[in-house]
Amino acid sequence: MITRIEHRGFTIDALKVTHATADQLHQHYAALVGEPFFPRIERFMTGGPMVAMIVSGFNVIEAVRKMTGATNPAEAAPGTIRGDFGREWADRTIRNVIHSSDSETSARREIPIWFPDRQYAPHQPEK
């Protein structure tokens, strides 16, 4: 996944291997906390290490979302990250292996959850 992102010309500004806490997940997925499937997401995401990244570059949000593919791996096109690596498990947990912010607003909210000392800085085209 990292190679795919870098080969598209994007820069990885921050990267860390971490273990998600319940508090981080409740902040990140605040809109989903009350959903019946949320406990499965929480178990999966707190069950082992994860890699958090901040990626930058021109039009990065739209381009990385396209590379990521549909949320449900069964609907994600081959060649997308979720299409190639995501799976749905017997417990109906969709393990789509990657999250990407859907907007600058989301990135501004999400980055401090995973990188408390960092803030979102939109890419500025070179002059």
Catalytic one among 7, 19, 26, 99? 99
Residue 127 has pLDDT above 50, yes or no: no
Amino acid residing at 53: M
CATH 3.30.70.100 fits 2-114, yes or no: no
Domain-by-domain residue ranges, the chain? 2-114
**Active site includes 19?**
no
Nearest to 96 by CA among 123, 73, 113: 73
Q: What is the mean pLDDT of residues 76-93?
A: 79
| The model scores a pTM over 0.85 | no
The string of pLDDT tens digits covering residues 29-77 is: 999 999 998 998 899 899 999 999 999 999 999 999 999 998 888 888 9
Nearest to 114 by CA among 42, 16, 11: 16
Length of the chain: 127
